[in-house]
Amino acid sequence: MTGFLGQALLYIVPFLLVLTFIVTIHELGHFLVARAFGVKIDRFSVGFGKTIVSRTDRRGTEWRIAWLPLGGYVKFSGDLDPSSVPDEAGLAELRQRVIAENGPGAERDYFHFKPIWQRALIVAAGPAANFLLAMVLFTLLFSAIGEQIVAPRVASAVPGSPAAEAGFQPRDLILAVNGRPVADGREVTQTVLMSAGDPVRFTVDRGGRQLILTATPERNLVDDQIAGRVRLAQVGLLMRPLAGDLSFRRLNPVEAFGKGIETIGSTVGTTATYIGRIFMGKESGDLLNGPIGIAKAAGGVTQQAVAANPDPGWMAANLALTFLSFAALVSIGIGIVNLLPIPVLDGGHLLFYGYEAVARRPVPARVQEVGYRVGLALLAGLMLFATWNDLQKLSLFKFLGGLA
């Protein structure tokens, strides 16, 4: 029982800490831009449910910490519609009520009566805050640990694998993949992961001679400490650097900032490519994670950080750096998801505002209602699919009856 509780704490606590921190920053993005535009705000909550502690500032905003640490929210005054985009009738009713309670002109302080461009910026500020957080975290990371480049040197090719059939040999150095120069082994791995079933051209240096080798990645079932049981695209290359294949350099804050931007761009591009391949039927969606998968990943990175060095000082430093990296990646993921054009998400609100800007009137109530329901169903379906993936990665169904 004690072991189970320990494992639960190892997985759940890091997950809740990371999730609450990232969602709070997301909501803080909405809050700060709304406050800059003079929007009246009722509440900023860290967590959900019953209030633990709260205070009200001089502008009438209640700041509270609630008992359920699953993120947080910001509530604008008059924000009663679940989609946050009331129609013309709803706006007229809200205007009358606000004027009756606070006098003429008071409605100008309410979110729904702000110009479209201000409302759009307020909504977009949430995902923007996630990307900004990732940028800051990556800048701190690269400033603290620098940049290590491990050249993609081939140690061996798994017998019978696509790499072996392509003719890879030990000590081959990969110079480019699909014509794009690569300097680090991680670039090779990333391209292979996104290329299941598609031929990949490798430019290889073999004893000073350049060769073009072509291999088609195949999906293999892999047990990963962080991701669980997943099918990953592989060509069967084992890479191990030689003495001269390792390089390291310290990065100043400007260089670290640039590297952080590059990492965010690469992560967003890879995510977009993966989602696109899912819609084209080239990927199964195994790498999509729900809350269980994120919790497992949080526990996995915690275990790795603790096991890396038993010294308490090194352990604390390694945990801090590991969680900074993990939080940055999760923050990018939350930013991307919130920009999806689904009505219950920020991207859906921006879609409605785009219509309002063109049509000169809000989206009709009936359309909003249908859009909200469809969006909620899509989001629920996505979460169910991701949770199904999580359970399969944990081998739960295999344990229960060999279904996986």
For residue 221, the domain's CATH number is 2.30.42.10
Judgement on whether residues 192 and 276 belong to the same structural domain of the protein: no
- Burial of 57 per CB tally in 10 Å (0-12, 13-18, 19+): exposed
Judgement on whether residues 188 and 311 belong to the same structural domain of the protein: no
Q: Which of 221, 249, 277 delimits the end of a domain?
A: 249
Asked if 139 contacts 257 with a C-beta cutoff of 8 angstroms, the reply is: yes
Number of structural domains in the chain:
2
In a domain, 44, yes or no: no
In a domain, 187, yes or no: yes
In a domain, 40, yes or no: no
Alpha-carbon distance of 365 to 86, in angstroms, equals 7
Distances (CA, A) of 193 to 10, 147, 149, 231, 305: 29, 23, 19, 10, 25
Catalytic residue among 27, 107, 187, 283: 27
| 27 carries an active-site annotation | yes
pLDDT value of residue 122: 96
Alpha-carbon distance of 160 to 157, in angstroms, equals 8
What's the pTM? 0.80
Judgement on whether residues 347 and 242 belong to the same structural domain of the protein: no
Judgement on whether residues 245 and 288 belong to the same structural domain of the protein: no
In a domain, 380, yes or no: yes
Please list the pLDDT of the chain residue by residue as tens digits (404 residues): 444 455 555 567 777 888 889 999 999 999 999 999 999 999 999 988 899 999 999 989 999 999 888 788 999 987 755 455 666 676 777 778 778 777 787 788 888 889 999 999 999 999 999 999 999 999 998 888 888 888 999 999 999 999 999 999 999 999 999 999 998 888 998 899 888 889 999 999 999 999 999 999 998 877 665 556 677 888 999 989 888 888 888 889 999 999 999 999 988 988 888 888 877 777 766 666 655 556 556 555 555 555 555 666 655 666 667 778 888 988 998 999 899 888 888 999 999 999 999 998 888 878 887 888 888 788 777 777 666 665 665 544 443 343 43
Judgement on whether residues 157 and 242 belong to the same structural domain of the protein: yes
Judgement on whether residues 227 and 264 belong to the same structural domain of the protein: no
In a domain, 80, yes or no: no
Judgement on whether residues 362 and 309 belong to the same structural domain of the protein: yes
Q: Which of 201, 227, 249 delimits the end of a domain?
A: 249
Judgement on whether residues 262 and 218 belong to the same structural domain of the protein: no
State the residue range of the domain holding 362.
1-13+125-146+257-404
Judgement on whether residues 377 and 271 belong to the same structural domain of the protein: yes
Q: Which of 249, 266, 281 delimits the end of a domain?
A: 249
Query: The tokens of 103 are what?
Result: 């006098």
Give me the residue label for tokens 């800490």: 17
Judgement on whether residues 315 and 354 belong to the same structural domain of the protein: yes
Asked if 129 contacts 34 with a C-beta cutoff of 8 angstroms, the reply is: no
In a domain, 310, yes or no: yes
Judgement on whether residues 295 and 237 belong to the same structural domain of the protein: no
In the Cβ-directed half-sphere of 266, how many Cα atoms lie within 13 Å? Answer: 12
In a domain, 373, yes or no: yes
In a domain, 283, yes or no: yes
Judgement on whether residues 236 and 332 belong to the same structural domain of the protein: no
